[in-house]
Structure 1
Amino acid sequence: MKINKQFVDELEFPNIGQKIYRDCEITGFCVRVTPNSKTYIVDKKYNNKLHRVVIGSSNNISAAGARKKAQIVLAQIYSGEFVSKSKNNDAFNPLEITVGAALDIYLNKNAFKPKTVRQYNKYIDLYLQGWRERKIFDISKDELLNKFLDTSEVSPSSANGAISLIGTLWKYMHVLYSTDDKPIMKSNPVDIIAVTVGWNKIAARERHLSQNVIFKYYQAVIGYFDELNLEDTARSNTHRDIILFVMYTGCRRVEACSLRWENVDLENGCVTFDDTKNGKRHLLPLGDHLISVLKSRFLLKENDWVFPATKLPTAWNIHATTIDRTLKRIGEEVGFYVSTHDFRRTFATLCNLLRFNIYVTKRLLNHTAKPRVDVTGGYVQIPMEELRFSMNMIEAVYQQKIDCFNYENVWNQRLQELKKAG
């Protein structure tokens, strides 16, 4: 294959490791793809010696530009004139590191999720335009403060994120390359924000299904109907069932949409999320109603996904990715629009109203605290039976079998339910 812009743009990031794609025209010209980056390289064995030379990230150099540089490097290799930077002590100067290069180094040395990588690149390309080629140790406090103030007028949260990223990259490069022999005698310019204007205060989002809308919304979900319901296939009720799944479990949208049947244990009534936000496998028991929903879907199973894509043949083996259209329709019917993450906020709210132990709530939401912050949490082990009972209580709230909004009686009601279960 010929390495060009279209080819590189269409390459998918691997989950682990790296893949090297070789150009069909120039022997030795390649693009290396890791979970976080795409980098043009020269990978050529000549005279029994392997030469692997980094040309640059696809974010910093075009495919055409990389091709020309590769030809120059290969010509030097063939003529014996090429000198590796590792052998030339004066070739690398940390003070010459650009913001773009610093970002590449940072991403390559850390296993970030693709979404995080996209967000970091968005900060640089959208809110810090022209800074990718700036030398990171040349950025002054004044210009950084001005950039923060200008960006804050457009988006306070993005200003926080973009400037914080610069601070992180600056510190990372300083720790990585400043040595006792060759110290980098500079201070992090981002420190100016905290001691002058301060970081933007971002109000926490509060939207969720409150008492005056939760039951009406739930009934609208249960009664949701679209043209796919007429089919007796794996695509039937897909969007409705995704919403139910997120409402009942409080999981994230991507975790529900990308759930595979191999991670569903119908016999024991639980699911396992492998690719979670905190990187830890999350084993979650399910309530009785959700188990019955999944059993019905399993009877119509046609591929690997619990929730297959609805606009493509199931033979393509692709999972659903979005339910925005369904959420909009239900929102119009109920007169109240919510996002999938608002269901997670609702789930946490119900856990609190039902007086769940804080460690039960954290376990259900897959929230983990660092050991130094919460030593006790590391010792607490929660039985699966208690988690499953808690999930059934969440379902019971939606089904109006438990009134968690009656604050005076909810605890007594919970004790009675626990006695019945025990």
Structure 2
Amino acid sequence: MTRQFNFTKQAIESLPLPESRIEYRDDKIPELRLRVTPKGIKSFSVFKRISGGHPVRVTLGKYPVLTPVKARSLALQHLADLCGGVNPNEKRRVDALAEITLLEVFDAYKKSRSLKKTTLTGYEGVVRNHLARQLNRPLKTIDRKIVADIHSKIGSKAQADLTMRVLRALFNFAKYEYCYQDGSSIFSENPVEILSHRKQWNNVRRRQTHLRPGELSLFYRALQSVKATETPTGKSICDAMLFALFTGLRRGEIFNLQWRNVDERAKIFTVMDTKNGLPLELPITDTIQDVFSRQSKAFGSMYVFAAENSYGQIREPKKVVAKVKQLSSTSCDFHDLRRTFATSAEHLDIGSYKLKRLMNHATGRDDVTAGYVILTAETLRHSAEKIQKYFMERILPE
């Protein structure tokens, strides 16, 4: 029920407590309203229908902090805006969004994406190490000059480009996330694009290190030598490195492989924790079975490549890998082994679709043929055996 009277302090003070919330109109400015709750809370607002018949309510404040005289003054200001087609609520929302900081955008971005833990850790590392000074700065103040300065001052060219790619992603997110009422963006410009305009991206060439055919035996002998003197966890890391060479899988995919995803009867194993989020089913060859057999006797962990720690799995293999690298004088980091697998597969003329599936690389959406090619573990078995035979012939030459 709506009632009307001249808003004065005396009249407002004398209002009875209602059983449910009630709203009053002001005699002088009918669009000025006073709401009273059963608890005696009194608040001023402006209520007006604008073009199109849409009702707009603008909250002004609570009585007695806001007096009737001040409430009328504010009401007239907002009514002028409404008559001019400006919604004060929308303006307030836009003004607040225009002040949003880089940290707030980053937090919103993380919540909106289903990021893998490793990806999230990488993003947070980039932000913490290279964008820390900008985190509390409003996004709108991060301009082209600031972007160019940050990019030029990062010592590592690869890290500089990575930082800018993360920043570009945050601006692109903000462009579509924070908009005016008509759908246009509050942050229409992405200042990171200045690097493309000026051709300032470092475009660091991807690493090319891998094991050459003549280095495979050096790697294997060093691996066996290190393994002979290592702890159970170290031995597990050595087997994981050999497994990486034989399968071309990523380090995280290997470390997260669990026994429940190994079906020795069907001779297949499934990598669940992949980079693209899609399970990868691969064949268990005789070579892979030998690795599984050794690992099954080593630990009682749920993980195939287990470790003597609270996690039950390998977390950081760098010390063991460094020993193998030093002893063999080869490049044999986990990603070097993945490149070795891919390079050797190409040398053996393994089909591109099979190689992509073995390495769990996604095919482009415009590749219509790929959508019809169904590659099962059995389809991949011959190719996997061919690659592993190639390695064994060079690891253990007759």
TM-score (norm 2): 0.71
The answer to whether 1:243 aligns with 2:237 is no
In the TM superposition, residue 118 of structure 1 has moved relative to its aligned partner by: 2.1
Cα deviation digits, residues 219-275 of structure 1 (max 9, x gap): 33345433457xxxx758312211111111111112112221101111122211111
Post-superposition Cα deviations, 1:317-348, rounded to whole Å, max 9, x if no partner, equal: 61112322222222222222421110000000
Secondary structure of the equivalent of 1:284?
strand
Partner of 1:203: 205
Tell me the equivalent position of 2:324.
330
Aligned to 2:306: 308
Deviates more, 1:97-106 or 1:375-384: 375-384
Q: Distance in 1 between matches of 2:377 and 2:221?
A: 29
Task: Tell me, yes or no, if the aligned pair for 2:216 and 2:394 is still in contact at 8 Å.
Answer: no
Q: 1:297 to 1:211 in 2, by over 3 A?
A: closer
- Counterpart amino acid of 1:201? N
Distance 2:394 2:131 in 1: 53
Tell me what 1:157 maps to.
158
Shift of 1:393: 1.5
Structure 1 residues 396, 176: closer, same or farther in 2, change over 3 A? same
Closer/same/farther in 2, CA of residues 341 and 401 from structure 1, 3 Å limit = closer
Q: 1:399 to 1:294 in 2, by over 3 A?
A: same
CA contact (8 A) 1:286 1:392 kept: no
Letter in 2 for 1:379: Y
Q: Which residue of 2 is the match for residue 397 of structure 1?
A: 390
Is this contact kept in 2: 1:305–1:317, CA < 8 A?
A: no
Question: Once the two structures are superposed, what CA deviation does each residue of 1:178-211 show, in whole Å capped at 9, x if it has no partner?
Answer: 2353742742212211111331111110000002
- Which deviates the most, 378-387 or 391-400? 378-387
Q: Which residue of 280, 291, 294 corresponds with 2:292?
A: 294
Name the counterpart of 1:3: none
**Partner residue in 1 for 2:351:** 357
Amino acid at match of 1:219: R
Task: State the secondary structure of the residue aligned to 2:361.
Answer: coil
Specify the alignment match of 1:340 in structure 2. 334
CA pair 128-301 structure 1, distance change in 2 beyond 3 A: closer
State the AA in 2 paired with 1:388. Answer: R
Kindly tell me: are residues 286 and 223 of structure 1, through their superposed partners in 2, closer, same or farther at Cα, counting changes over 3 Å?
farther
Aligned pairs for 1:269-280 (under 5 A) are 269-280=267-278
Q: Aligned letter for 1:381?
A: I
Question: What does residue 320 of structure 1 align with?
Answer: 314
Question: How far apart are 1:139 and its partner, in Å?
Answer: 1.7
Residue 213 of structure 2 aligns to a residue whose secondary structure is: coil
Distance 1:392 1:401, change over 3 A: farther
2:123 and 2:166 in contact (8 A); partners too: yes
**Distance (Å, rounded) in 2 between the aligned partners of 1:170 and 1:292:** 49
Contact 1:127–1:162 (8 Å) recurs in 2: yes
Q: Cα gap change, 1:236/1:217 in structure 2, threshold over 3 Å: closer, same or farther?
A: closer
Please tell me whether the aligned partners of residues 213 and 394 of structure 2 are also in contact (alpha carbons under 8 angstroms). Answer: no
Question: 2:107 pairs with 104, 110, 116, which one?
Answer: 104
> Secondary structure of 1:225's partner?
helix
**Residue of structure 2 in register with 1:191 after alignment:** 193
Corresponding position of 2:283: 285
The alignment of Structure 1 onto Structure 2 pairs a total of residues equal to 307
Unaligned ranges ≥5, structure 1 = 1-46, 48-87, 404-422
In 2, Cα distance between equivalents of 1:291 and 1:204: 33
Compute the RMSD of aligned alpha carbons.
Answer: 2.6
Name 2:171's counterpart in structure 1: 170
Distance 1:329 1:147, change over 3 A: closer
- Is 1:127 aligned to 2:127, yes or no? no
Moved more, 243-252 or 142-151: 142-151
The aligned residue for residue 6 of structure 1 is: none
Residue 284 of structure 1, CA deviation: 1.1
Measured in 1, the distance between the counterparts of 2:192 and 2:169 equals 9
Q: Aligned letter for 2:161? A: N
- Write the distance in 1 (CA, Å) between the matches of 2:187 and 2:271: 46
Larger Rg: 2
Q: TM-score, normalised by structure 1?
A: 0.67
**Cα separation, 1, equivalents of 2:279 and 2:376:** 17
Supply the AA of the counterpart residue of 1:365. M
Distance in 1 (alpha carbons) for counterparts of 2:127 and 2:233:
39
Mapping 1:25-40, distance limit 5 Å: none
Compared CA separation, residues 207 and 309, structure 1 to 2 (3 A): same
Are 1:254 and 1:321, in contact at CA under 8 Å, matched by a contact in 2? no
